[in-house]
Every structure is written in C-alpha cells, then in structure tokens.
Amino acid sequence: MEATELTLRPMRPADRDRAIEITKDVWEGRDYIPRVFDRWVSDAGAEFQAAEIEGFVVGLQRLRPYAPGLMWYEGLRVAGDHRRQGIARAMLDAAIAEAREQGFHEMRLATRDLPAIRLFESAGFNALVELKWWRGVRVEGGEPARMPDATEVRKLWPAIAASAGIQLYAGIVPDMNGARDLSADELERLASSGLIRLGPGGRAIALLREPWGQNIAVSLLAGRGGSLRELLMALRFEADADGLNHVTVNLPPGHPAEEDLKASGYDFADAENSAFVYALKL
C-alpha cells in the first residue's frame, strides 16, 4: 500500500456498522469502541477519524486534547483483512504530524496489546508506567470511603509526593482514559469531580477514573499500612452500596501497596498481561 492511497476524514454516524465490523474480533469481541461510538462521533472537542482506501473505511483512530499541551491518542483499529500493510503506521504518523501542527508538546496513550506496543515504540513512544490490574469483589456491610473537597485534598499533596512507591508513577496519574500530570492541581480537579477517596486521617488516598464496566476503577494509590487497608476495604463496601461488581486497581509492579492489596482481599484481575502508558515528545 502506498501512503498516498490512504485518506483520513471525520467519522460519521453512518459509519457505525462498519466500525463495529472492524472491531468485532478485537479482545475476543469485547472491544469498547461500539459502546463509545455514538459519544465519540458527537464529541466536537476531539477528532474521531476514519481511514479510507478508495472510499472504503479500513481503519479508525481518535485524537483528543485533554490537558494543556497534551494530546490523548486512542482507538487505533485496522480491519482484519487490511492488517500488516502499513496502514496503522500511516495513520499513527498522520496523527503525530497533526498534533505537532496544532502545537501540542506531548502525545500520550495507553495499551496492553503487544503488536501495538511494537508499533508505538517504533514511532518513538517511550513507556512511562507499567501497570498490573488488581481486583477486589464487592463486600456488604461497611462504610464507604470518605470523599474530600478540593481544599482538603490540596493540603495532602506534600505527603502524597513523598509517599512510598510514588516514583513508580513517573509523575503522572495513569488513567487509561487520559493520563494527566500528577500535581496538587490535578488532585483538586479530581476532588471537584468526586473522584478521590481518603483513608482514616487522610493517611491513604485513592484517585479514581471513569470505569469501563460495572466497577469502581482506581488509577493511583498512595499510603500504606492500616490506613490504606481500611481504604481498600471501604472501596469494596462502596462497590456493594452502589450495586457494582468489584473494585479494579491499576498498580505498578513492585509498588509497596501490593501487600496491602493482598491483605485486603484483592488479587490479580489479569496476572499475565500488563498495561502501559506511553508518551511521545512532539
């Protein structure tokens, strides 16, 4: 395939069936693209793109500005009968060029797919964080964790910045929906959205993200010992109170909170595979 044969255009509502067809074999038929397609098409703040060859849609991708200077890249898919023809690389190169032209200083993404990892690394992306997924099923009978306000959580920033294992997060909140820089300002933003939970005395903290299923999803943990264990149990109580199935925690391998997760009834949701957040300086 010649790169000049590939054209990119905005995805349209009429492309929905084709997008579902392209993604039907992804993650054993459990791809999230069909679930978010309508929302992505209607989102004027991002670019949901269709890749065409001779007027036929063969791939899709999305570029989403999500923080000052940062572009999130997601949803790269190529139709099964058009793979290994250089299409994914041509689409990625076009996305990188567009982000540069628009003045963004960094592009970030999350993936756990080995072929995608090879593609992104070949394009110059560097891994920031490796993550393992832990899971704790819901538990009845206890009190949910406390939600702090923005003023309170900002005061906790020095303790979080100095907490054991925090360096494994490489200065970001590894939210698989958009990894922002870890800072006092980000804590305030999350608290204002109801996405922070505190352990007793504020000695442990969990930063939440939008979940992909019927669960509470944690992007970052800080603290350890009794306070963190109480917080981890409180999240399981909250899942039950909200009628959710479980709590999912993304944690870098080797983080000291691993022992607290085990002691609080969590185990690996997917012990074999890691997820990664990658970044490319533009």
Instruction: Tell me the two tokens of residue 159.
Output: 């303790």
Residue closest to 122 by CA, chosen among 97, 152, 88, 154: 88
User: What is residue 222's three-state secondary structure?
Assistant: strand
What is the CATH code for 3-104? 3.40.630.30
Q: Can you point out the beta strands (E) in the chain? A: 6-10, 47-53, 56-67, 70-78, 106-111, 126-137, 172-173, 180-181, 196-198, 205-209, 215-222, 246-251, 267-268, 275-281
Mean pLDDT of the region 257-267: 95
Q: Would you kindly state where each structural domain of the chain is located, as residue ranges?
A: 3-104, 131-277
Indicate the burial class of 45 (C-beta count within 10 angstroms; 0-12, 13-18, 19 or more).
exposed
Q: What is the structure's pLDDT at 271? A: 67
Model-level pTM?
A: 0.93
Which pLDDT tens digit goes with each residue over 119-166?
Answer: 999 999 999 999 999 999 999 989 999 999 999 999 999 999 999 999
Highest CATH level, class, for 131-277: alpha beta
Residue closest to 120 by CA, chosen among 91, 151, 78, 141: 91
Please list, in sequence order, all residues whose beta carbon lies within 8 angstroms of the beta carbon of residue 157, skipping any fewer than 6 positions away.
183, 184, 187
Mean pLDDT of the region 204-222: 93
Determine phi and psi for 38, rounding to 5 degrees: -60, -40
Same fold, 3-104 and 131-277: yes
Instruction: Tell me the two tokens of residue 127.
Output: 């891994």
- What's the one-letter identity of residue 41? V
Share of the chain above pLDDT 70, in %: 98
